[in-house]
Amino acid sequence: MLELVMAPLCGGGKIRGSAAKMVLCSLLFLIPMASSAVIPHRKLEVQKQLMRLNKPALKSIKSPDGDIIDCVHINHQPAFDHPLLKNHTVQTTPSFRPKGRSFDESKVSSNSKPITQLWHLNGRCPEGTIPIRRTKEEDVLRASSVESYGRKKHLSIPQPKSAEPDLNTLGGHQHAIVYVEGDKYYGAKATINVWKPQIQQPNEFSLSQIWILGGSFGEDLNSIEAGWQVSPDLYGDNSTRLFTYWTSDAYQATGCYNLLCSGFVQINNEIAMGASVYPISGYGSSQYDINILVWKDPKEGNWWMQFGNKYVLGYWPAFLFSYLVDSASMIEWGGEVVNSEAVGQHTSTQMGSGHFPGEGFGKASYFQNIQIVDGSNNLRAPKGIATFTEQSNCYDVQNGQNGNWGNYFYYGGPGRNPKCP
């Protein structure tokens, strides 16, 4: 459009007239040249990123949802790009696991059902490999920059004791959580039912997770996170996916989702981080759960993750962290969404099932049998549970306790509604 307007002034490409006109026309004709220089440079950066992330595969599996799962040799995974892991020997099993039965499976199984990953329908990865969701060019291009791909934004951890409540919604992140603090924690566990919340805009997400936190809510906060999420910007669709995250500086320069940076060492050949899970819970119908356990190996000091009752996925090496080298100072369980709407109007992005806690089982999202790992490496019920949400009219949380579910809570909501305009 600008070129059409300026064409008569510039004489169809021949610069004429005053010095001011000459400068203006010269800049105009440089615009296409600059654009054509930027695009190849960006494309080159993207290709380098893809080469770094997508390791050579011994086998590739096409998932029904369009993902490609690459079976990569365990010693060639992204973790070993980290300079401190160059000569690392993979720890194939944790030295210790938390003691104590975490829940009565016979009582839980009558109400909820187990879950798996969609790509399993088309194959499995062989022993000695790990499954990695292949990163595509369009995945990286959706990010604001190549460097920011696979990373959360700063200030996305709920800060229930913040002296300035407005900080909690800075950046548009909102939460409905329960939490414990005031002790030393060496892990956490929960059974979480899985939903497919509706996302209003591609740059928003909805997730349900456990946070293992060390330090204060400053620029050096350590966090290990695991759960399920729907994130169109990160994955390019609205599928519900298993995910992990870690950071040692409050999301500034360290850490990433899943295996999108060096750090987490995966040992399991059956579960792919970032891959979709199925089936999904239905409103008023069957409920499907995932079990997540994160704990600190008291001998080696690494933080391990288990998915379900049998899949030990791998570990975050202790050296990645500062505060979490010793223990966690806070545990949080619950939901998070991004509200990118302008001030005065709330997003309609759903948290959990998209329904408020008061609707109960089969309709609202829940965490059940929430537990912590104590200094004796025992799983036990947490003490001093508190709740937190920024806007309870948009997303809320209600906790309780009973014999079958132990300590549990319902949480979530629809976002924008008559009481949350």
Separation of alpha carbons 69 and 327, rounded Å: 34
**Cβ atoms within 10 A of the Cβ of 361, count?**
13
Under 8 Å CB-to-CB from 4, ≥6 apart: which residues? Answer: none
Separation of alpha carbons 251 and 219, rounded Å: 8
Cis peptide before 56 (omega within 30 of 0): no
Separation of alpha carbons 349 and 235, rounded Å: 17
The upper half-sphere exposure of residue 269, i.e. CA atoms within 13 Å in the direction of its Cβ, equals: 17
Provide the 3-class DSSP secondary structure of residue 333.
Answer: strand
Burial of 145 (0-12, 13-18, 19+ CB in 10 A): exposed
Active site residues per annotation = 225, 336
State the residue for tokens 């080159």. Answer: 44
What's at 136, amino acid-wise?
A: K
Separation of alpha carbons 329 and 216, rounded Å: 9
Report yes or no: 267 and 92 within 8 Å, Cβ to Cβ.
yes
